[in-house]
Structure 1
């Protein structure tokens, strides 16, 4: 058994509420606003750092890709995911306030 510190239910619930269980990478790169099955990613890769600023909700595919080390291709960086997370959280906050996403995320005809 590992010595991993469990994310508290309070922090977990805050992250789920703020992200609305949307993957921040899907949201920003793929413009995918659907709820996802996912996991909590530790952005600094330290599984014991459960500070909310170090956590992001990622879909299973993107969490796997974020945590995997490759020799040829470049995976998502911590700074990149933090920006995506900030954009997602800003968007979901406006959606809760106004009942819709900010105009930069909506399609214009």
Structure 2
């Protein structure tokens, strides 16, 4: 499962907590991973993964986003990962929760 592979990788290389669900008592700085889609052809899959970087300030969220991008590009070295491509990244401040965040969207080509 690509989500588990990437979550384990991010948890292993980032100093911040990485998770797939935002808990009610979320820490001030953390990373949230979500698979938003996937396609498959000839046993090769491409998952669309959104990685959100939350932090107390906009600058800290942007800095964490840069760390996330570096970690995601390094994921290409993992078994079963053929390619990691940054689709887009942007300020994605959460106005409902009043929290600063950035979001980076990746296309991850993988096989099992």
Larger radius of gyration: 1
Choose between structure 1 and 2: higher strand proportion: 2
TM-score of the aligned structures, taking structure 1 as reference length: 0.33
